[in-house]
């Protein structure tokens, strides 16, 4: 049951339209998103949950409504929606074998300090629970998105850019997302660096007094 023990609350999604039970397989990557709900709203997890579970959204999207495993609020509180052994629908491609994190905020703003701190703690725990996750960004920028299929830390934008560049997808219909925006993309190395430090701490046995 990969449930983040340091969560500040849970808002479990239960409708199969929002998740695929026990299907996440060998998790290899963390996908970073932003909620696009601005830089002031304090309960962005609640707002996202309401959108994801609304009847009108169900009508519009059917099965495959958007979801994520976690939201990291502006003040660093971490809310969990989906067990990481289940698939959450954060992206259209590389949906599975991923853990999707929504950071409260909107591009091109950067993550706030508490989000960097508690977000990197969360990412470290994900790597401990799913040891095939690598704590390095696999891409640099929209122009250099790397290979998001590889184990590591990536973002919604990089997955879209690489998917779009495939010859078979050149004319496919999709909605380009500015997610998580350039400010957060620039912080991926810092998030990775902090997560590695935290993971080292998690893996250090506490010495007997
Ligand atoms: Zn996104």
The pLDDT assigned to 174 comes to: 83
Q: Which of 40, 33, 21, 155 is nearest to 84 (CA)?
A: 21
Question: Ligand 1 mean position to 207 CA, how many Å?
Answer: 41
| pLDDT bracket for residue 32 (50, 70, 90) | very high
The pLDDT assigned to 59 comes to: 84
Burial track 115-150 (b if 16+ CB lie within 10 A, e otherwise):
bbbbbbbbbbbbbebbeebbbebbbeeeeebbebee
What percent of the chain shows pLDDT beyond 90?
A: 88
Question: Ligand 1 mean position to 160 CA, how many Å?
Answer: 10
Question: Ligand 1 mean position to 150 CA, how many Å?
Answer: 18
Between vectors from CA 81 to CA 182 and to CA 3, what angle results, nearest 5°?
105
pLDDT at 64 over 80: no
Name the β-bridge partners of 141: 144
pLDDT digits (tens, 9 = 90+) for 65-75: 899 999 999 99
Question: Ligand 1 mean position to 169 CA, how many Å?
Answer: 19
Q: How far is CA 141 from CA 35, 116, 133, 209, in A?
A: 19, 19, 20, 47
pLDDT digits (tens, 9 = 90+) for 98-110: 999 999 999 999 9
Question: Ligand 1 mean position to 102 CA, how many Å?
Answer: 7
Owner of token pair 């706030």: 112
All structural domains of the chain with their residue ranges: 9-201
Q: What average pLDDT score do residues 159-182 get?
A: 93
Instruction: Name the least confident of 119-128, 130-139, 173-182.
Output: 173-182
3-state secondary structure of 153: strand
Question: Ligand 1 mean position to 180 CA, how many Å?
Answer: 6
Q: Is 155 within 8 Å of 146 (Cβ atoms)?
A: no
pLDDT digits (tens, 9 = 90+) for 77-97: 999 999 999 999 999 999 999
Q: How far is CA 52 from CA 17, 46, 67, 207, in A?
A: 9, 10, 6, 44
What percent of the chain shows pLDDT beyond 70?
A: 100
Q: Which of 22, 11, 4, 145 is nearest to 86 (CA)?
A: 22
Instruction: Name the least confident of 44-48, 51-55, 190-194.
Output: 51-55
pLDDT at 164 over 90: yes
pLDDT at 201 over 90: yes
Question: Ligand 1 mean position to 33 CA, how many Å?
Answer: 4
CA 117 to chain centre: 15
pLDDT at 62 over 90: no
| pLDDT bracket for residue 58 (50, 70, 90) | confident
Q: Is 39 within 8 Å of 109 (Cβ atoms)?
A: yes
Domain 9-201 carries which CATH code? 3.40.80.10
Question: Ligand 1 mean position to 132 CA, how many Å?
Answer: 22
pLDDT at 57 over 90: no
Structural tokens at position 185: 């993309």
Q: What average pLDDT score do residues 196-202 get?
A: 96
Q: What average pLDDT score do residues 26-48 get?
A: 97
């Amino acid at each position: 049951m990969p449930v983040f023990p340091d969560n500040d609350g849970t808002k479990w999604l239960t409708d199969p339209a929002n998740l695929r039970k026990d299907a996440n397989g060998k998790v290899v990557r963390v996908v970073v998103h932003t909620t696009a709900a601005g830089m002031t709203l304090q309960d962005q997890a609640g707002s996202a949950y309401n959108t994801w579970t609304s009847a009108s959204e169900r009508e519009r999207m059917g099965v495959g409504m958007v979801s994520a495993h976690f939201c990291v609020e502006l003040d660093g509180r971490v809310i969990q929606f989906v067990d990481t052994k289940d698939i959450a629908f954060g992206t259209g491609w590389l949906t599975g074998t991923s853990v999707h994190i929504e950071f409260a905020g909107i591009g091109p703003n950067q993550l706030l300090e508490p989000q960097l701190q508690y977000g990197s703690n969360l990412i470290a725990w994900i790597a401990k629970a799913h040891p095939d996750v690598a704590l390095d960004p696999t891409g640099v920028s929209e122009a250099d998105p790397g290979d998001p299929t590889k184990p590591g830390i990536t973002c919604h934008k990089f997955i879209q850019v690489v998917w779009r560049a495939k010859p078979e997808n050149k004319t496919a219909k999709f909605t380009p997302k500015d997610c998580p925006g350039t400010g957060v993309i620039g912080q991926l190395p810092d998030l990775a660096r902090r997560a590695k430090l935290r993971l080292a701490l998690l893996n250090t046995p506490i010495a007997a007094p």
